[in-house]
Structure 1
Amino acid sequence: MRLLLENKQFRIFWIAGVFSDLALITYFTVHGWLALQVSDSAFWVGATSGAGGLSLTMFSVFGGVLVDRFGRRSLVLVGLLIRFVIALALVALIMTENIALWHVLLAAFGEGLAVSFLMPAMMALTLDVAGRGKLLSATAARFAGMTVAGIIAPLAAGSIVNSAGIEWAYVMIALGFSASAGFMLILRPPNPAKRTNSSPLEDLKQGVTYVIRTPQIRMLIAMIFITEAFGWAHESMLPVMARDVLHVGATGLGYLLAAGSAGATVTTVIISNMGDIRNKSNMLVGGCIGFGFFLVLFAWSQWLLLSLAFLAGAYAAVIVYETTINTLLQTSVPDELRGRVLSFQAMMWGVTGLAGFHTGAIASAVGAPVAIAIGGGVVILNSLRIARHRSQLDPDLAQSSLDSESIDSRGDQPES
């Protein structure tokens, strides 16, 4: 967290990110709840998440091209404007009692569209503003802001929904996005995206080819895919767990999300003060295994306090994985390709939303706990598989192995 004191531009960027995160987490807290109110169906709660994931998956690679061609700050501002308009539209529909399921689905689709270029731009700006040598600390600081927002926003949103109505939660969302835009307007990133003479289609092809043909990047993206499709799929079922399993309503849903963020906050504060870390692949695999393990425990808990503790443990573990994989992706990719490669990560986040379709279907058939437990189990198994190939994920570990082999070979040579 020292970076916030040392770097003024990163401090402005961090504050803008916190306001955006407050709005985003409030949206995730209440939008699934709105779908549940309108439809009274676990499937449509999952499908709402799926609608956002569909647009994020469809448009992310094109968003990456935009990030590498145009000003990243400008793209963030456009994304914030879209999200602001969506929130105000939902406020009007709910207040006039004209809200329908298709409105909820369309809003989720629009949110995913905005995220498809906003998030790669935000991730690329993190390195632009903080510098390559400070990226791990900067990423952890960004996650720390997100997790603090994740404690405040769900508790506030749950209270607002119960006391004033869900429409006022969307007012809070609109205010958060507008405040974030205000700070982004005064940000002066030192390294704007470079314009290119190639066509957008050529840029897209170059990015796709790089991801497919680079073993380290290909493995990292595949790991993100599995974790998002099966681990983070639990998010779409949290409203169902809160209402139908734990019987705690919207306020209890806020407690669940806040507990997860509290666990994540502890991890991010620790990592942000550690500086650079060698052998990042050990952190990557260990964090992912812990995520799946605590998700399985959470799935079978029927007591609120235990569920809060297990979700806090899951999020504390997954932040280790998320911080590490973001750092490995950004530091392993040439600057001119960074936006396009990060767009694949954003695309995998879209898979989280798409997972709402199969998670919702499983939950409708056999219950939300079973759907979440299956996802956690798949994450554990995939992490154990990845553990055997750690040296391919982390250049530091690969170099350590080469250095050890070199020392051993010199030791085996006969003395002259």
Structure 2
Amino acid sequence: MNQPGRNSRSEILAPFAVRSFRFQWPADLLTSWGIEMEVLILGWYILTATGSVLLLTIYGSLQYAGTLIAPMFGLAGDRFGHRNVLCVMRAIYAALSTAITLMALAHVLTPVAALVIAGVNGLVRPSDLAMRNALVAETMPGDRLMAAMGVARTTSDSARVVGPLAGALLVTAAGLPFAYAVVTVFYAIGCLLTLGVGAPYAAATRLASLSIWRDLREGVAYVWDTPESLAAMWLAFLVNMTAYPLTLGLLPYVARDVYHVGQTGLGTLTASFAIGSLAGSVLISVIGRSIRPARMMVTFSFVWYVMLLVFVHMPGINAGRVTLVLAGLAQSLSMTPMAVMLLHGAGAKFRGRVMGVRMLAIYGLPLGLLAAGSLIPRFGFDATASAYCVAGGLLTIGIGVRWRGALWPLSAPANTR
């Protein structure tokens, strides 16, 4: 009678039987907590110091400045080891957060300085998720990959629950310098734990004799010539441009100007979306072996847009929180199967480069944020956000129809369990 419960627990715990994952999970967790705390702390500082929604969207956009060079990070991971690249990236996070801590202590922090540091950070941070996913695929047996990806995503999803609330409470209780010192400690410990992840990368020697541009062309050509991968890239670009802006860069505006709440209210809105994402990640870790990745990716992307459209028209913050939970659930049930589908298809040779190309899709997020920053003052939040949701939902259907042969049949490689 208790067998289902035992099976669920064993699916969730199975990835931890791999030594590398026992280091990677807490390393990713602390890094994710630090990122989410930093995003809220600095975003709220810029908004309150300047009162400008345009500067807020510029700040959000700068965090993704590195999307155009993400394939280079993927290539570096394939050449020198994903663990080594990830360690260097996380050391950079720690150094930059230390700089902000020291400026805040010396009372010389300004919105301009914050934007400059956010821009430097944004050159590196977009590739963090790609390196994480590649490391999981590199160190995890294939039959555990879907479950492992679900468990791995709980690090970022739980951070979106804990990080914004913790960041808001720390700033309110102890001030910005202390809050940023905590962020720095999280980054530093995460970097040290990352040193224990993985093993020497077997493909590095093989790639060393090839040119950088040839390696990159091979990765891009693989994506372009593989229908399910190309469809996933277009869908990833679409959701980054029209869905993520509503729950990432624009939530401070929604909290202050739509719901008229402060940092704590903003934290609860961010946490609501993250709770849904966390629930989705846990669900995937339990039922991973029965998931048809491509079908799930398209279906729940559409559901995500529906839930966001409902959120836009919710009259109060409590109803808004509920719909954000459902939107977060749909987001997780769409994006995690997408990552697994791409990793399965790429294999060891293209894994880093394909995930690097996947990160290029994040470039849609700053484009969407900047457009929203110009449209909201002219047309209002409701009209702008509704247009994003309707356009995104229709284009998702279009992607599903255009690549139906690669995404929908149960026998398609993209739906391999």
1:113 aligned onto 2:123:
yes
Report which of the two structures shows the higher radius of gyration computed on alpha carbons. Answer: 1
1:37 aligned onto 2:51:
no
Amino acid aligned to 2:82: R
Q: Tell me the equivalent position of 1:48.
A: 59
Q: 2:346 aligns with which of 321, 333, 340?
A: 333
Deviations 1:139-164 (A, max 9, x none): 10011222222211111111112222
CA distance in 2, matches of 1:167, 1:395: 54
Q: Tell me the equivalent position of 2:22.
A: 11
Q: Secondary structure at the match of 1:201?
A: helix
Deviations 1:108-138 (A, max 9, x none): 2122212244332221101112122211111
User: Against the structure 1 CA distance between its residues 255 and 214, is the aligned structure 2 distance closer, same or farther, given a 3 Å change threshold?
Assistant: same
How much does 1:329 deviate? Answer: 0.6
Q: Secondary structure at the match of 1:273?
A: helix
Q: Is the 8 A contact 1:68 1:338 kept in 2?
A: yes
Q: Tell me the equivalent position of 2:148.
A: 138
How much does 1:395 deviate? Answer: 7.5
1:186 aligned onto 2:196:
yes
Deviations 1:36-58 (A, max 9, x none): 123211111001111222x2222
Q: Tell me the equivalent position of 1:393.
A: 407
How much does 1:317 deviate? Answer: 0.5
Q: Tell me the equivalent position of 2:301.
A: 288
CA distance in 1, matches of 2:127, 2:400: 32
1:352 aligned onto 2:365:
yes
Amino acid aligned to 1:198: L
Q: Secondary structure at the match of 2:257?
A: helix
1:175 aligned onto 2:188:
no
1:218 aligned onto 2:240:
no
Q: Is the 8 A contact 2:228 2:414 kept in 1?
A: no
Deviating more after overlay: 244-253 vs 111-120:
111-120
CA distance in 2, matches of 1:371, 1:92: 39
Q: Tell me the equivalent position of 2:316.
A: 303
Unaligned runs of 5+ in 1: 402-416
Deviating more after overlay: 368-377 vs 137-146:
368-377
Q: 2:396 aligns with which of 365, 383, 406?
A: 383
Q: Is the 8 A contact 1:391 1:397 kept in 2?
A: no
CA distance in 2, matches of 1:46, 1:287: 27
Q: Secondary structure at the match of 2:289?
A: coil
1:150 aligned onto 2:163:
no
Amino acid aligned to 2:56: V
TM-score of the superposition, structure 1-length normalised?
A: 0.91
Deviations 1:212-255 (A, max 9, x none): 23222111101100011111111111001111111111111110
CA distance in 1, matches of 2:383, 2:41: 23
Q: Tell me the equivalent position of 1:231.
A: 243
User: Against the structure 1 CA distance between its residues 246 and 131, is the aligned structure 2 distance closer, same or farther, given a 3 Å change threshold?
Assistant: same
Pairs aligned (count): 400
Unaligned runs of 5+ in 2: 1-11
Deviating more after overlay: 259-268 vs 111-120:
111-120
Q: Tell me the equivalent position of 2:337.
A: 324
User: Against the structure 1 CA distance between its residues 192 and 251, is the aligned structure 2 distance closer, same or farther, given a 3 Å change threshold?
Assistant: farther
Q: Is the 8 A contact 1:278 1:396 kept in 2?
A: no
Amino acid aligned to 1:241: V
User: Against the structure 1 CA distance between its residues 62 and 399, is the aligned structure 2 distance closer, same or farther, given a 3 Å change threshold?
Assistant: closer
Amino acid aligned to 1:283: M
How much does 1:206 deviate? Answer: 1.6
Q: Tell me the equivalent position of 2:8.
A: none
Q: Secondary structure at the match of 2:199?
A: coil
Percent identity over the alignment is: 22
Q: Tell me the equivalent position of 1:26.
A: 37
CA distance in 2, matches of 1:326, 1:141: 13
Pairwise CA RMSD of aligned residues?
2.0
Q: 2:85 aligns with which of 75, 89, 110?
A: 75
How much does 1:17 deviate? Answer: 0.9
Deviations 1:375-405 (A, max 9, x none): 222221122223323431367543699xxxx
How much does 1:354 deviate? Answer: 3.5
Q: Tell me the equivalent position of 2:211.
A: 199
CA distance in 2, matches of 1:220, 1:120: 15
Amino acid aligned to 1:398: A
Q: Is the 8 A contact 1:125 1:189 kept in 2?
A: no
CA distance in 1, matches of 2:68, 2:279: 34
Deviating more after overlay: 234-243 vs 169-178:
169-178
CA distance in 2, matches of 1:264, 1:232: 13
